[in-house]
Amino acid sequence: MSEQDLVFTNLFAFPPSKSPELLNPLVLAYIGDAVYEVFIRQYVISGANHRPNHLHRASTGYVSAKAQSKLLTALMPMLTEAEVDIVKRGRNAKSGTTAKNAEVLEYRHSTAFECLIGYLYYKQAFERLKEILNFAIAFDPKQQ
Q: How far apart are CA 35 and CA 105, in angstroms?
A: 22
pTM for this one? 0.89
Residue 67 confidence class, pLDDT cut points 50, 70, 90? very high
**Alpha helices, DSSP H, located in the chain:** 3-11, 25-45, 52-63, 65-75, 81-92, 104-122, 126-138
Residue 102 confidence class, pLDDT cut points 50, 70, 90? confident
In this prediction, residues 99-118 reach a mean pLDDT of 90
In this prediction, residues 73-102 reach a mean pLDDT of 89
- Residue 144 CA, chain-centre distance (Å), reads 19
The reply to whether 140 belongs to the active site is no
Q: How far apart are CA 39 and CA 31, in angstroms?
A: 12
**pLDDT tens, residue by residue, 1-11:** 677 666 556 66
In this prediction, residues 57-75 reach a mean pLDDT of 93
Q: Which top CATH class is 22-143?
A: mainly alpha
- 54: Cβ–Cβ under 8 A, 6 or more apart, which residues? none
* 5, 33, 85, 140: the active-site residue: 33
Q: How far apart are CA 6 and CA 90, in angstroms?
A: 31
Reported residue count of the chain is 144
The CB density around residue 16, as the number of other CB atoms within 10 Å, is 14
Domain ranges of the chain: 22-143
The CB density around residue 135, as the number of other CB atoms within 10 Å, is 13
Q: Which of 128, 7, 143, 29 is nearest to 86 (CA)?
A: 29
Q: How far apart are CA 101 and CA 107, in angstroms?
A: 9
123 neighbors 20 (Cβ within 8 angstroms): yes
